[in-house]
Structure 1
Amino acid sequence: MIKPELEFVYEAGGDLGEPIPIGETPDGTRRIIPIFSGPVEGPKIKGELLGNAADWQLTRHDGVTVADAIYAMRTDDGVVIQIRNRGLRHGPPEVMKRLMAGEEVDPAEYYFRTIPEFIAPVGKYDWLNKSVFVCAGARYKLGIKLWVWRVI
């Protein structure tokens, strides 16, 4: 048996815009969360998130929010990398109510995990195209923090 290990890649912080409601749909409530810029800092990569992006969220009838964000980063040496980050956020109803109200909630009180997929140009960052990654996140009223690891 081979047990996978994790290698820390980076922490990213992004500013978020006010949610844009789509409304109730057959599969739950949909909304768009605008994603603006923010820093990317880590031992494997540094740069910034680029703006003009969005998370197309669905909150299912069971209270689980499904994230589907597409955005990009520009590395400190000028390379642009596309990211699609899909995952789940949920927790006890009282915790999620506080989070939705914009209160600061300890990320240990809820589950927020995603699977980022990278599209990097051939070259220095090609390793992003050749691995699986996992991410833990924290949501704030108008911001987000993401911690990304490579599965090795």
Structure 2
Amino acid sequence: MAKSTPAPPQMTLIYSMEALLGDRFSLGPIPDGQERVVIPIVGGTFKGPKISGKVLNLGADWRLTDANGKIRPDARYNIQTDDGAFISVMTEGLPPGPDGRTMLRGKFETSTNGTYAWLNDVAAMGVLTRNGTKSVLIDMWQVSRCECGESGGRQS
């Protein structure tokens, strides 16, 4: 058997988003960490190759500062496509990197018989960039298996 190496997954842009943020407030010290800060998500827009629309004023990031002082995003919010479909978005993230950007894991939930049902089965990864204190930019990507032929995802 020939030695092979794993092939990386493919990434396809789902959308680029600007999410508008409301005034944040702190719950103070909590049992699971040093602090929980609630950052309301109050609007915005998103656009991608197969989907675009607006961010609804319904959701927030319940950001955790963990026991080690690391900030970890934990957001739940809703978007509506230009053609009227509602989609719930859930993201959780790693602490920001040295460049200030935050890697996110994304999950979508929407009607199983609608145009965007494909989102229910997407493995998503996002990159969040701060845009001042009143908005964030999020590029969300679909992570797909390598289409590498017979090697089962491995390259020789």
TM category, shorter: 0.7 to 0.9
1:35 aligns with 2:41: yes
1:3 aligns with 2:18: no
- Rg bigger for which structure? 2
Q: CA RMSD in A?
A: 1.4
Query: What SS does the aligned partner of 1:89 have?
Result: coil
Query: Partner of 1:141 in structure 2?
Result: 133
Measured in 2, the distance between the counterparts of 1:45 and 1:141 equals: 26
**Displacement of 1:91 after TM fit?**
4.2
Measured in 2, the distance between the counterparts of 1:86 and 1:147 equals: 14
Q: 1:116 aligns with which of 65, 84, 106?
A: 106
TM-score by length of 1: 0.83
8 Å contact 2:58–2:78 — kept in the other structure?
no
In structure 1, runs of 5+ residues without a counterpart are 93-108
Measured in 2, the distance between the counterparts of 1:76 and 1:143 equals: 21
1:143 partner amino acid: S
Q: 1:55 aligns with which of 61, 67, 70?
A: 61
Measured in 2, the distance between the counterparts of 1:123 and 1:91 equals: 37
**Displacement of 1:18 after TM fit?**
1.5
- Identical aligned residues as a percent: 32
In structure 2, runs of 5+ residues without a counterpart are 1-5, 145-156
TM-score by length of 2: 0.81
Query: Partner of 1:99 in structure 2?
Result: none
Q: Deviations over 1:55-103 (max 9, x none)?
A: 11111243321111110110000000011111123345xxxxxxxxxxx
